[in-house]
Amino acid sequence: MYKLVALYHRPMTLSHAPICAISLRALFDDQHRASRVQVEVPLALRRDRLLRIRALLQTHGSALAQAVQADFGVRSPQLTEIADLFVLRTMLSSTLKALPKWIKPVRVHTPIYLQPSRAYLARQPLGVVGVVSPWNYPIQLSLGPAITALAAGNRVMLKPSELTPQTSTLLGELIGRAFAQDELCVVQGEGENPAEFAAEFASLPFDHLFFTGSTAVGRKVAAAAAANLTPTTLELGGKSPCLIDPSCELREAALKIAHGKLLNAGQTCIAPDYVLLPRGREAAFADAFARAVAQLFPTISGNPDYAAIISPHHYERLQTLLEQAEGEGARLQVVNPEGDGVASAKSRDRASRQMAPVLVFGAASHSRLLQEEIFGPILPVVLYDTLDEAIEYINTRPRPLALYWFGTDEVSRNQVLARTVSGGVTVNDTLMHIAHENLPFGGVGESGWGAYHGETGFLRLTLQKPVLVQSSWARGDLFYPPYGKRFDQIMGILKRLI
């Protein structure tokens, strides 16, 4: 059996606790038992747990950013600050402000046939929430779901990615200093098979399992959870389109598309995965995109603001996608402001893994590049002639996690919004809908199910228990058998009233 290393001690102490190897199931049982003993979790304790995470970020944010940089090889601490730490700080701030309101029972209207009883929804913790987080934003996507779960009064077991070992280890140490193991803990497998450990984790009978990652792995997580009837939230990915309307001014749009695509070198679940472009504007878009890249990243190689591809395996996967697309007749346009071929589409720079952006024109519809989520700085451009054609292209594919529309024609925009379905939309920009804390974030269909952020996330990880309090004046006996004339008269009156 796999083991885990859990550093833990009570939050009031400052010294490090001893390292203790315990089984994954034993740790779950510890949290499960605690969640059943303390069903009611008061506001003060929920706030205290959130404030401990805030203090952790304030004190150790720089160290965490350095760990992320070490895991990627090249990724500036400033990128982690804006994409991981700042997002968590805003989430904590808004959650702490709204939490007193969120936890209150919600009165619901009672229909006439049940009056004078009263009814409400009691908001209770689910119990133990498992969180499986990815490597691309390893702090935000680990602690974001944990913050939501703790706000809802749950206990949390967090399994971070094995591809960011330094970040995962540091998170485990810091959380172990701030939380008891039956509140919040980080687990990492000691074995050499991460997939086996992840499967064991997903097979635990959590009260809810939260997974962020690829669609392929999401299917496996959902299957493992189903054996225990564990409800899941799956934040996946997919082919998020960027639709450029004929009314769009390309220069400003290209800058925003380049930023959304190249943030973290394209290793973002809601990055634009391909562009739908009006036919005849290829050269203009390519020029505008190249100018935008040069503005954002004057250099590629050695530029700390331009993140490396996470691993040699992922780097080679991207190179293979390009080679296959080119072999099938696609035209590749490497966008390298340095103009020296460094990190080009043909390079094998395994040392830095900084891969220059590549525009791909004319990719075959069946190519892997247009079928699989790219997760890198490659941007296929798909041409269209009419808006109906563009909408049909989107709708004949799995529903995306995000959709982006650029233009000034409101009629066209409203057509796209009404006739397509996606997890979220940003109009005339990219990524920004995820930054709005009061908008739910989640997928639909193959891009995931369930959503979090704001009250939506709180309710996702909360049991809204219906409660009816019967009145001493109630006459429910009017509906009891034996049925007769009086019953028929009462039902006749109610039919007219409802």
Closest CA to 382 of 253, 285, 496: 285
pLDDT of residue 194: 83
In the chain, count H helices and then E strands: 16, 20
| Enzyme catalytic residues | 235, 269
In the chain, list all ranges with CATH 3.40.605.10.
3-236
What dotted CATH number matches 3-236? Answer: 3.40.605.10
pLDDT in tens, 399-434: 999 999 999 999 999 999 999 999 999 999 999 999
Determine the pLDDT at residue 479.
Answer: 85
Which pLDDT tens digit goes with each residue over 56-92? 999 999 999 999 999 999 999 999 999 999 999 999 9
Q: What percent of the chain has pLDDT over 90?
A: 85
The 10s digit of each residue's pLDDT in 332-379 is 999 998 874 444 445 445 578 999 999 999 999 999 999 999 999 999
pTM tops 0.85: yes
Which segments of the chain belong to CATH 3.40.309.10? 241-441
Q: Write down the pLDDT at residue 22.
A: 65
User: Is the model more confident about 37 or about 195?
Assistant: 37
Q: Can you give the pLDDT at residue 338?
A: 80
Average pLDDT over residues 153-178: 97
Q: What is the pLDDT of residue 341?
A: 44
Superfamily covering domain 241-441: Aldehyde Dehydrogenase; Chain A, domain 2 (3.40.309.10)
Per residue in 212-235, pLDDT (tens digit) is 999 999 999 999 999 999 999 999
Mean pLDDT across the chain: 92
